[in-house]
A and B are shown apart, each in its own frame.
Chain A
Amino acid sequence: MKRALDEVRIIFAVAWYNLKLTYRYPANVFFAIAMPIVFVAVGAIFAPLVGSDELVMFTGGEASLPLYMAAGLMMWLISNSSAGLAKAVEMEISWGTLSSNLQTPAPLASIFAGLALSNLLYGGTMSAIIAVPLLMLVPVQYPQLLAVNTALAIVLFLGVGMIYASLALLWKKVSGVIQVLSFVEQFFCGVFLPVRLIPVGLRWFAYALPQTWAIDGVRSALLGVEPIATRIMGTVILLVLATATNTAGLILLKRAERVARARGISDSY
């Protein structure tokens, strides 16, 4: 128990100070403010062009445009945190600060989890100002399920982030490749459009991605019309996948750490 609490303290300390230094870069502050504004502006400009009703119909006719946008924004933020973690690890390696962290007895997984949390909070703090009022426009039918599914989605994307971070630890300069991978993944897993709009021949690929189940879980809790039993089954599948992704992420991270310790983690040897 004490050990678990110590690990939580590590995660929060890394996240808090990483968030502090992130907001001390003016460009990051600008991005955090501008990003949700751009998101809403895009919705405001394109929705009348397409026609709100048509867009709702296009997305399956499940709910109103504000809710669809809120779900999209939330999922975009959560899914971005995986690639963000790889970028953060790459930056820590190039600065030399990762080496300072590795001189401490703290587990690498806790340090990386802290970085992932700060990434999530960085985008989330400003965007929540937009997302929360949007969510309040239409009452959510199952708020508890939405909270559980969102938490599981965050955990699942943390596992994906650990996999990406392991790649960054092994190959150092990978964030460019991961950004592309992440974009493809966001497209297929339904961040931008529901999976049912993807050509039938490619849907198997979408459902092979654990991230699709995370997005589906949140979107169906928010917008879906399926019976509650179907939604709970989705939550169970999400729980299994979140556990599996994190287990895979931690195993890969341990392996990557072992290889990196043999090769030299920093470039300064």
Chain B
Amino acid sequence: MEAVIQVSNLSKAYGSVVALERVSFSVQNGEIFGFLGPNGAGKTTMVNILSAQLTPSSGVAKVMGQDCAASARAVKSLIGVASANPRALYWRLTGEENLKRLLPLYYLKRGEGCRRIEALLRQVSLYDCRHQLVGNYSTGMRARLMLAKAMLHDPPVLILDEPWATLDPEGRVELTEYLRAMARDSKKTILVCAHDLALMERICSRVAVIHRGKILFQGTIDNMREQQGLGHVLEIDIVEGAEAATLVEQCAGVFDLYNLDAGRLRIVTPDLSSALRFINSIPCDRISAVTIRRFSLEDAYLLIMRNSRGAAI
């Protein structure tokens, strides 16, 4: 079966700046695919190419078999994009007007479109404030309106750029569940770019990690964990003034470790008993807190990033 999104050897350069370099990945029908990477990694460039707003320098990006560069109009009918930029909405129009304005632009009939707008506004809990100007909305409300905008023409493919960034905790959970239900029940294919790795871990079946325009990893989250070493992570907060170097020496060659900041160490241990043994070996006066947890997507991501930079602590 052909993938819904198929990207092959895609490169994009802005003059001498290479934003994407020979990127290849595919997303299957009904899949939620995560696109991870630091700021400036090339995620937005990828979103712009897939939404047919930007042409690649070389390579091919296809959505449901349609070339994003050559068949821009066909691709635009197939995808809905929720941009991370809240200014992509008209702030001097109401929430409802922002959506109604787009009906003819998506070639939707007014009657059918208005019914869809009402349903969407109810789904994203904005129906009661549909007559308010978007400029008076909170950032979370704008993010939800952006999602409704992306779904206006009921596209089979959704591309969401930082959908959780401005939502409150309750909104984040709601959106996560909503996306899961959409992929499961409506068989929507969803590509999400985000920094919130815990939420990505909850909904994405596969992820790709991109850095400086290159894909460093792609596969399932379990693959990612396996590749980076399954096990447990110790987070150790060091007492102010205590030497981190001796702790580092203590686990050098035994465990993989990386730091978050100057006062905290993260150590990857192969199993729980190794983690406990290591904690027992540290003098209590040098640490203020210890946390033991399972290896997460965030740990795997940070290790991939660290390895790509060739950085050691």
> B105 touching A268 by the CB < 8 A rule?
no
> B87 touching A21 by the CB < 8 A rule?
no
Proximity bits, A5-31, B CB within 8 Å = 1, else 0: 010011011100100110011000000
Proximity bits, B142-166, A CB within 8 Å = 1, else 0: 0000000100000000000000000
Q: How many residues of A contact B (CB 8 A)?
A: 32
> B87 touching A13 by the CB < 8 A rule?
no
Interface bin, chain B: 35 or more
**Chain B 8-57 residues near chain A, CB threshold 8 A:** 14, 19, 44-45, 48, 51, 53-55
> A104 touching B88 by the CB < 8 A rule?
no
> A17 touching B90 by the CB < 8 A rule?
yes
Docked complex Cα distance between A172 and B81 (Å): 23
Given contacts A17-B101, A264-B48, contact A100 B92 (CB under 8 A): no
Q: Indicate if B218 sits at the interface (CB-CB under 8 A).
A: no
> B77 touching A105 by the CB < 8 A rule?
yes
Q: Indicate if A204 sits at the interface (CB-CB under 8 A).
A: no
> B85 touching A13 by the CB < 8 A rule?
no
> B105 touching A111 by the CB < 8 A rule?
yes
Chain A residue contacts of B105, Cβ below 8 A: 10, 13-14, 101, 104-106, 111
> B85 touching A99 by the CB < 8 A rule?
yes
Chain A residue contacts of B55, Cβ below 8 A: 258, 261-262
Docked complex Cα distance between A101 and B133 (Å): 19
Contact of A268 among B85, B92, B97, B102 (CB under 8 A): B85
> B44 touching A100 by the CB < 8 A rule?
no
Chain A residue contacts of B90, Cβ below 8 A: 17, 21, 95, 97
Contact of A105 among B76, B89, B92, B97 (CB under 8 A): B76
Q: Indicate if A96 sits at the interface (CB-CB under 8 A).
A: yes
Docked complex Cα distance between A21 and B135 (Å): 11
Chain B residue contacts of A89, Cβ below 8 A: none
Chain A residue contacts of B87, Cβ below 8 A: 95-97
Proximity bits, B72-103, A CB within 8 Å = 1, else 0: 11101101110101011110110001001111
Proximity bits, A101-145, B CB within 8 Å = 1, else 0: 111111100010000000000000000000000000000000000
Q: Indicate if A203 sits at the interface (CB-CB under 8 A).
A: no
Chain A residue contacts of B93, Cβ below 8 A: 17, 20-21
Q: Indicate if A265 sits at the interface (CB-CB under 8 A).
A: yes
> B92 touching A269 by the CB < 8 A rule?
no
> B92 touching A6 by the CB < 8 A rule?
no
Given contacts A21-B92, A95-B87, contact A269 B104 (CB under 8 A): no
Q: Indicate if A255 sits at the interface (CB-CB under 8 A).
A: no
CB contacts between A and B, total, < 8 Å: 95
Closest B residue by C-beta to A17: B101
Q: Indicate if B106 sits at the interface (CB-CB under 8 A).
A: yes
> A13 touching B53 by the CB < 8 A rule?
no
Give 3 nearest A-B pairs by CB, closest first. A21-B92, A104-B105, A106-B105
Shortest Cβ distance from residue B92 to the other chain A in the assembled complex, whole angstroms: 4
Proximity bits, A81-101, B CB within 8 Å = 1, else 0: 000000000000001110111
User: Given A103-B51, A269-B45, 4 other A-B contacts at CB below 8 A?
Assistant: A12-B104, A261-B72, A264-B54, A269-B48
> A103 touching B76 by the CB < 8 A rule?
yes
Chain B residue contacts of A196, Cβ below 8 A: none
> A97 touching B53 by the CB < 8 A rule?
no
Proximity bits, B264-280, A CB within 8 Å = 1, else 0: 00000000000000000
Shortest Cβ distance from residue A170 to the other chain B in the assembled complex, whole angstroms: 15
> A13 touching B19 by the CB < 8 A rule?
no
Proximity bits, A38-64, B CB within 8 Å = 1, else 0: 000000000000000000000000000
Chain A residue contacts of B48, Cβ below 8 A: 264, 269
> B44 touching A268 by the CB < 8 A rule?
yes
Shortest Cβ distance from residue B189 to the other chain A in the assembled complex, whole angstroms: 17
Shortest Cβ distance from residue A125 to the other chain B in the assembled complex, whole angstroms: 18
Chain B residue contacts of A104, Cβ below 8 A: 76, 102, 105-106
> A100 touching B83 by the CB < 8 A rule?
yes
Chain A residue contacts of B104, Cβ below 8 A: 6, 9-10, 12-13, 106
Jot down 15 A-B pairs with beta carbons below 8 A, ordered by A: A6-B107, A9-B104, A10-B105, A13-B101, A13-B105, A14-B105, A95-B87, A95-B88, A99-B53, A100-B149, A102-B53, A104-B102, A258-B55, A268-B44, A269-B19
Chain B residue contacts of A268, Cβ below 8 A: 44, 85
Docked complex Cα distance between A122 and B282 (Å): 74
Shortest Cβ distance from residue B100 to the other chain A in the assembled complex, whole angstroms: 8
Chain A residue contacts of B100, Cβ below 8 A: 13, 17
Chain B residue contacts of A102, Cβ below 8 A: 53
Docked complex Cα distance between A269 and B51 (Å): 13
Docked complex Cα distance between A25 and B90 (Å): 13
Docked complex Cα distance between A107 and B107 (Å): 11
Chain B residue contacts of A97, Cβ below 8 A: 87-90
Chain A residue contacts of B149, Cβ below 8 A: 100
Chain B residue contacts of A17, Cβ below 8 A: 90, 93, 97, 100-101
